[in-house]
Amino acid sequence: MEESSQDGTNDDSHLEKEEQKEIRRPFNPMKTYFFVAAGIIGSYALFYLFGYTVLTVATLFFLMVVFQETRYVYNHLSYRFARGAAYFNAFHALAYFIILSVNGYWIVTYGVPLILPQIQGLTLMAPLIVFMSAFGSRNIRLMYIPDKKV
């Protein structure tokens, strides 16, 4: 009797693994790596040439990418983890974009950052967080097979 119950649980876990494999696509993130790397290099080059205003505008472009990817996940995927990860990325991207915008303005105007001035380099790190959120959101979209009808 014990052997049959163990076989039943093994069959259940095997079925769960098969279901998990079916919702994922073959995945290669290299295209996304290059997209994010080009964005980081380009944005910081523009920052050193033109300042915080251009860095904020470039980061705004990537914030819109994060929101588009999150909207795609919301409309096409019903997987709990994928949706939660997309929302997590969107929240962090928005929070760090606000930090970049406010601190960039205050640094240009008053010479010191307004939000968390104790953390050296927070303002220059904020775009990296937004870019990594774009990377994560795009990977979520590419990893999972859409299961909702639009």
User: Cα separation of 120 and 126, whole Å?
Assistant: 12
Give the integer Cα–Cα distance in Å for 78 and 21: 16
Which DSSP state fits 54?
H
Segment 34-42 mean pLDDT = 85
The whole-model pTM stands at: 0.77
Token pair of 147, please?
């299961």
Q: How far is Cα of residue 97 from the mean position of the Cα atoms in its chain?
A: 13
Cα–Cα distance, 85 to 114 (Å, whole number): 29
The stretch 134-139 carries a mean pLDDT of 90
- Give the pLDDT confidence score for residue 15 in this predicted structure: 52
Residue 100 has pLDDT above 90, yes or no: yes
Please, which residues bridge with residue 24 across strands?
Answer: 144
Q: What percentage of residues in the chain have a pLDDT greater than 70?
A: 81
